[in-house]
Amino acid sequence: MTADIAAAPAGQAVPLPPDHPKAGSGRIGVLLMNLGTPEGTGYWPMRAYLKEFLSDRRVIEEPRWKWWPILNLIVLSTRPGRKGKDYATVWNRERDEGPLKTITRSQTEQLAERLKPLAGDRIVVDWAMRYGLPDVKSRLQALLDQGCDRILMVPLYPQYAAPTSATACDQAFRALMQMRWQPTVRVSPPYHDDPVYIDALARSMRASLAKLDFEPEVILCSFHGMPKAYLLKGDPYYCQCVKTWRLLRAELGLSEERFPLTFQSRFGPDEWLKPYTDETVKALALAGRKSMAIVAPGFSADCLETLEELDGENREIFLHNGGERFAYLPCLNDSPEGIDVIAAVVRRELMGWI
Ligand SMILES: C=CC1=C(C)c2cc3[nH]c(cc4nc(cc5[nH]c(cc1n2)c(C)c5CCC(=O)O)C(CCC(=O)O)=C4C)c(C)c3C=C
Ligand SMILES: [Fe+2]
Ligand SMILES: [Fe+2]
């Protein structure tokens, strides 16, 4: 489809040169956006990924002059090697990519199938990563090239945080800033208290627990952490995590003691949101708990932070300190429950467009 272009004041068409840019219109794009993952587990791809990630001022709020030497002289000389080894333990060797990419692609494909009855080929679903590939700018352009003049951007984070949701949108808006003909855009809101999300989490957890050959004494509810200072400056992430936890606890009928809330993945010397997951796991084992499970409702897809850190490192901490049985309950991922949630958010946010 080619859009109507300019008309002369008298109503006559302006003759356009043959190289005049062609533009499509009339379709709707849905862009799922997640965090991103390195292109490989070796030193250089790991370094490139961490440099892009940790140079983002939404992630590290330290002044440039202070952070630049620490990042370039210390962090980027040691962390790529160490984290590359961690990534290697969860890497999808068949596709040669991190699990976050494999799962986000599958979520996209399944969402497209779910939306087909709604508007046929009028809706185009795609995915992009804030750091690394596929990048936000090129996937936005791909949607425009397919005739999408309305685009719904969907940060795949149930809880809003400046270092995740906001930076994904910043990246999209930076690309939009360079466009002569911008599409009309919408951004889907956080869905931390959406009954569809809470219900999907509860169903998924019940199914995972039913497959275990033991009943965990404690089920830890672990969210990715952030510096406490970001909360104090007004980031709503902590409060949204607490609300998800409260609603999920009520839905499952679990007490605060049986289903404690913790925060993982601390980085650097500053205080982060507490209680810390690793310290809590150790304390539970030392207090004589023999069995436990961990669930991570803040991640829409399993990734390094869940598969390696929770299912790997924290399992080891528990078993080395006297625990006997440990289970990691998977994220919603591309399960039917997971797609129920993304499809519900997208359908609601497309209202008025379809
Ligand atoms: C250093 C500051 C960081 C903040 C603040 C932060 C917040 C935050 N992150 C996620 C989700 C994910 N983080 C992931 C990896 C990851 N996170 C940080 C740092 C911060 N995150 C680093 C340096 C890394 C890379 C690994 C490492 O070096 O430790 C991932 C996994 C990506 C993957 O490829 O699998 C996710 C997902 C949230 C929700 C969040 C919220 C405040
Ligand atoms: Fe992170
Ligand atoms: Fe981690």
Domain boundaries, the chain: 195-329
Provide the Cα torsion 167, 172, 175, 179; round to 10°. -140
Residues of the chain with pLDDT under 50: 1-7
Q: How far apart are CA 145 and CA 150, in angstroms?
A: 12
Q: Is 94 annotated as a binding residue?
A: no
Q: Read off the DSSP letter of residue 53.
A: H
Query: Helices 136-145 and 167-177: crossing angle, nearest 10°?
Result: 50
Distance (Å) from CA 20 to ligand 3 centroid: 49
pLDDT at site 9: 62
pLDDT at site 6: 47
Kindly report the CATH number that applies to the domain delimited by 195-329.
3.40.50.1400
- CB of 37 shorter than 6 A to ligand 1: yes
The ligand placed nearest to the CA atom of residue 33 is 1
Q: How far apart are CA 238 and CA 226, in angstroms?
A: 9
pLDDT at site 223: 99
pLDDT at site 16: 85
Q: Is 320 annotated as a binding residue?
A: no
Protein residue with its CA nearest to atom 27 in ligand 1:
83
- Pick the atom of ligand 1 nearest to 98's CA: 34
| 289-325 exposure pattern, b = at least 16 Cβ within 10 A, e = fewer | bebbbbbbbbbbbbbbbbbbbbbbebbebbeeeebeb
- CB of 100 shorter than 6 A to ligand 1: yes
- CB of 224 shorter than 6 A to ligand 1: yes
pLDDT at site 2: 44
Protein residue with its CA nearest to atom 2 in ligand 1:
59
- CB of 267 shorter than 6 A to ligand 1: yes
pLDDT at site 272: 98
- CB of 79 shorter than 6 A to ligand 1: yes
Tell me how many degrees the CA angle 8-10-14 measures, rounded to the nearest 5. Answer: 25
Q: Is 24 left (phi over 0), alpha (psi -120 to 50) or beta?
A: beta
ipTM field: 0.94
Q: How far apart are CA 344 and CA 187, in angstroms?
A: 14
pLDDT at site 5: 47
pLDDT at site 21: 75
Measured in degrees and rounded to the nearest 5, phi and psi for residue 178 equal: -95, 5
CA atoms within 13 A on the CB side of 64: 0
- CB of 201 shorter than 6 A to ligand 1: no
Distance (Å) from CA 261 to ligand 3 centroid: 17
Decide: 220 and 292 in contact? Cβ < 8 Å: yes
Return all residues near 197 (Cβ < 8 A) that are at least 6 apart.
158, 191, 244, 341
- Whether the model clears a pTM of 0.80, i.e. scores above it, the answer is yes
pLDDT at site 17: 84
Decide: 261 and 309 in contact? Cβ < 8 Å: no
Provide the Cα torsion 214, 215, 216, 221; round to 10°. 120
- CB of 305 shorter than 6 A to ligand 1: yes
